[in-house]
A and B are shown apart, each in its own frame.
Chain A
Amino acid sequence: MKKDLVILLIILLIGITSPFLFPNFVVNLSVVWLFILFSLTWDVQGGQMGYNSFGNIVFYGLGMYTCALVQVGLFFSIGEWTEAGGEKTFLHTIPQYFTGLGVGLIFSSIIPVLSAIIVGLGLLRVRGQYFAIGTLGLGIAAGEIASGIEVIGGGQGMTVPIWPRAAGTTDLRNLVFYYLSFASFLGTFLFLRWIYQTRFGLTLNAIRDDEDKAEAMGIPTMRYKIIGWCISAFFLGISGALMGNMNGYIDPIDGAFTGSTVGLWMIIMALLGGKGTLWGPIIGAVLFYFFKEFFWMQFLGWQYVALGLLVVVVVVFFPEGLMGWLKRKFPEKFGEVVDKERTSGIHLD
């Protein structure tokens, strides 16, 4: 398709050139790509599959910890590293740093997928509000447990290996992580766009619309649900690893398993843009990021109150999201045929 190719080229152009256009905002831009990734992967469950998960943050946090532990554990003793000041005595050389990062990224995509399978076997049998609250509990429990384990730093958190000075300046480091974030976003986007067009995407939608009927049609729903969660876990794990490296520091409750900040934001981002669509979460995430930065600049000290208000306003007054609103206003643009005569008597609110 020619149109698709144009869209892809535009995304590539924006992604590759923006760090040079806005050199002061490279870190912010990488966070924007990761935020888009969060809302896209949440939408696999919440929008396409109809399972409103509050616990996807678990995979993000797991990826963060796994990557950091691999990066450290490959070369040094983890226990000594997490002791106070340990990260100052051990320094990674350039090859050590990059092999650590590479291997860490691989593991930070595998471990969350495995955990998604294990957790999914139990929790994906539960529906509706029980799934929502259960996954919420899982997210918070993960943070509390991580902060109780001494080897990985306990409640104090752990530091991530610092960028070796010999390899280049901090600007280069930011640029490397920017492109890694962009690449992981692009991978997520292309993969999801492809998978929504296949039978798999249709099956997820069938589960959302009526799971019992889907099962009666002979679809092994459990298998599809778990695979869907694994897809989210895979990409979220990578994004967690990147975020941990960009921050340079992992806090168990405020950094990794942030059930009531990032874990909630990814839902709000998808809702703001319109869940159940491919472009909705992307638009929602960008909008949300601007809101967030605006609140941080304007209402410092009250930013979380403002964000809470945003959550309530979006959920209560604008639940269909931007894409849902556009779809209702201009259904023809979305390829939906409206029979004017037959719908003239019906008022959709």
Chain B
Amino acid sequence: MDLMIFTTAPWLNVQAIFDGIMIGAVFSLIAYGMALIWGVMKIINVCQGEYVILGGYITFYLYNTYGINPLYTIPAASLFVFLVSFAIYKLVIVKVIERDLFVSILATFGLSIIIQQLMNTIFGADVEVAQSGLGTEFLFDNMVTVPVTRVFSLIIAVLVAAIVVIFMHYSKLGRAIRATSQNKRAAKVLGVDTDKVYGYTYAINGAICGVAGSLVAMTFTLHPYIGLPYTIRSFMIVITAGLGNFAAIITSGMGLGILEQYADYIIGTQFRIGFVFLLLVFIIIWRSRKLLKKREYLK
């Protein structure tokens, strides 16, 4: 498709940026969870995307069987993934911490395959979506369509992010998590139960993913095998933004959302996932090139 369309139809830009920001908010939320456990536990969680999709399926299940409005299922999805990821922490992750990062990547990759297949068996391999029935608003003489669900999902993402940030700063557990991420030994000396902190950090990440999953179920589609793109997106956001920088995670998440919308128009939707994965490769190469001038490398 030719690029002229963005100048001849200027509303397309507004549409792309609107959609991009609303999608990017969900991406940022997932990426924040990944940055949290990467920073605190030194683990790369490849099954991040599967937690998201799992949360989405909980929403879809409640919506489909009991007819509950997806908006009200968010706490249930969040709690469910919280418990699942806590169980997974106790069973597997606890043995992976403080080992080589490659071990955690492989182990969580294996976990992601298990979760995928279980979801496939339980919920079926069809593409599903949970309608919240909020309708669509039309702006600027019907040139820009804004589904109200997406606006709600943006608000919820912002709310959850605010809750997490407040929790991290002012609660006792939040302080313990931050202390552990700064210096594990010192935190232990000062009486922080680091094992407990790890468990809760991993489970909190699960809860965040559960919320994000509900939003994905409402605004996009669900399928057992689309978890990995979410993992890759959050990884990409985290390496662009850095581990502790919350504002940068939000900006790069929304930037990625907008970029994907434009890529949809320019190279076509069938290449969207391929574009995301290639973008990751390019970002990694670009970051390492910048460091190479200083004779350093990504670590």
Binds A, one of B18-26, B78-86, B113-121, B123-131: B113-121
Is A87 engaged at the interface, CB distance under 8 Å to the other chain? no
Contact indicator per residue, chain B 13-48, by CB within 8 Å of chain A (1) or not (0): 000000000000000000000000000000010000
Partner of A141, one of B111, B121, B277: B277
Q: Which residue of B is nearest A132, CB measured?
A: B105
- Interface stretch, picked from A157-165, A177-185, A202-210, A307-315, is A307-315
Q: Is the CB of B106 within 8 A of A127?
A: no
Which residue of chain A is the closest to B282 with respect to CB atoms? Answer: A122
Total interface residues on A, CB under 8 Å, equals 41
- In the complex, whether B103 has a CB less than 8 A from a CB of chain A is yes
Partner of A137, one of B44, B102, B277: B277
**B111 & A128 in contact (Cβ 8 Å cutoff):** no
B148 part of interface (Cβ distance < 8 Å) = no
A141 near B274 with CB under 8 A, answer yes
Given A140-B232, A308-B111, A308-B113, answer yes or no on A129-B105 (Cβ-Cβ < 8 Å): yes
**Inter-chain contact B274/A144, CB cutoff 8 Å:** yes
B113 adjacent to A134 (CB under 8 Å): no
B95 within 8 A of A: yes
Which B223-243 residues have C-beta < 8 A from chain A? 228, 232, 235, 239
Residue B162 lies at the interface, judged by CB distance under 8 Å to chain A: no
* Consensus secondary structure, chain A interface: helix
**CB–CB B298/A126 < 8 A:** yes
A302 and B277 within 8 A (CB): no
Interface string of A299-329 (1 = CB under 8 A from B): 0011011011111100111010000000000
Tell me whether A123 is interfacial, beta carbon within 8 Å. yes
Please tell me which stretch of B59-67, B208-216, B250-258, B284-292 contacts chain A, meaning at least 4 of its Cβ atoms lie within 8 angstroms of it. B284-292
In the bound complex, residues from chain A placing their C-beta under 8 Å from that of B268 are: 148
A167 interfacial by beta-carbon distance below 8 Å: no
Docked-complex contact B270 and A148, CB < 8 angstroms: yes
| Bound CA span A271–B103, Å | 11
Q: How far is the CA of A304 from the CA of B277 in the complex (A)?
A: 24
Question: What B residues does A302 contact at CB under 8 A?
Answer: 117, 121
Q: Quote the shortest CB–CB distance from A317 to chain B (angstroms).
A: 7
Q: How far is the CA of A52 from the CA of B116 in the complex (A)?
A: 23
Which residues of chain A (91-124) have a CB below 8 Å from chain B?
122-123
- Structural contact, B110 and A311, CB atoms closer than 8 A: yes
Asked if A152 is an interface residue, CB under 8 A from chain B, the answer is no
Residue-wise, chain B 92-117 has the 8 Å CB interface mask toward A (1 for contact) of 10011001011101110111111011
A125 lies within 8 A of chain B by Cβ: yes
**In whole angstroms, what is the CA distance A92 to B101 when docked?**
50
Q: Cβ of A316 and Cβ of B274 under 8 Å apart? A: no
Say whether, besides A140-B232, A141-B274, A122 and B281 are in contact (CB < 8 Å).
yes
Proximity string of chain A (151-191) to chain B, C-beta cutoff 8 Å, 1 when within and 0 when not: 00001000000000000000000000000000000000000
* Residues of chain A within 8 A of B96, CB atoms compared: 316
Q: B106 touching A260 by the CB < 8 A rule? A: no
Contacts of A309 in B (CB 8 A): 110, 114
Q: Tell which of A122, A128, A132, A137 has the most Cβ of chain B within 10 Å.
A: A137
Is B273 an interface residue, CB under 8 A from the partner?
A: yes
User: When A122-B281, A129-B102 are in contact, do A312 and B114 touch as well, CB less than 8 Å?
Assistant: yes
Q: Which chain A positions have C-beta within 8 A of B288?
A: 125-126, 130
Indicate whether B271 reaches chain A with its CB closer than 8 angstroms. yes
B280 within 8 A of A: yes
Pairwise interchain contact B281-A304, C-beta atoms closer than 8 A: no
How distant is the Cα of A264 from the Cα of B106 in the complex, in angstroms?
8
Asked whether, in the complex, the Cβ of B110 is within 8 Å of the Cβ of A315, the reply is yes
With A133-B44, A145-B274 in contact, is A315–B103 under 8 Å at CB?
A: yes
Within 8 A of B (CB), among A252-301: 260, 264, 267-268, 271, 301
Q: Are B107 and A315 in contact (CB under 8 A)?
A: yes
Residues of B contacting A129 with CB < 8 Å? Answer: 44, 101-102, 105
Contact of A231 with B by CB under 8 A? no
Q: Which residues of B sit under 8 angstroms from A32, Cβ to Cβ?
A: none
Please measure, in the bound complex, the distance between the C-alpha atom of A138 and the C-alpha atom of B44, giving whole angstroms: 18
Complex: chain A residue closest to B228, CB-CB: A140
Contact between A133 and B274, CB atoms less than 8 A apart: no
CA distance A305 to B119 in the complex (A): 11
Taken together as a complex, chains A and B put the C-alpha atoms of A134 and B106 apart, in Å, by 14
Contact B113 A260 (CB under 8 A): yes
Beyond A260-B109, A319-B103, list 11 extra A-B contacts (CB 8 Å): A132-B102, A133-B232, A141-B280, A144-B274, A304-B116, A308-B110, A310-B110, A311-B106, A312-B107, A315-B103, A315-B107
Residue contacts A-B, CB under 8 angstroms, 30 given: A52-B105, A122-B285, A123-B281, A125-B292, A127-B298, A127-B299, A132-B101, A132-B102, A133-B44, A133-B105, A133-B284, A134-B280, A140-B232, A141-B273, A148-B274, A264-B113, A302-B117, A302-B121, A308-B111, A308-B112, A310-B110, A311-B106, A312-B110, A312-B111, A315-B106, A315-B107, A316-B92, A316-B95, A317-B95, A319-B99
Q: Interface residues, chain B, CB within 8 Å of chain A?
A: 44, 92, 95-96, 99, 101-103, 105-107, 109-114, 116-118, 121, 228, 232, 235, 239, 268, 270-271, 273-274, 276-278, 280-281, 284-285, 288-289, 292, 297-299
Give me the interface of A with B, judged by CB distance under 8 Å: 52, 122-123, 125-130, 132-134, 136-138, 140-141, 144-145, 147-148, 155, 260, 264, 267-268, 271, 301-302, 304-305, 307-312, 315-317, 319
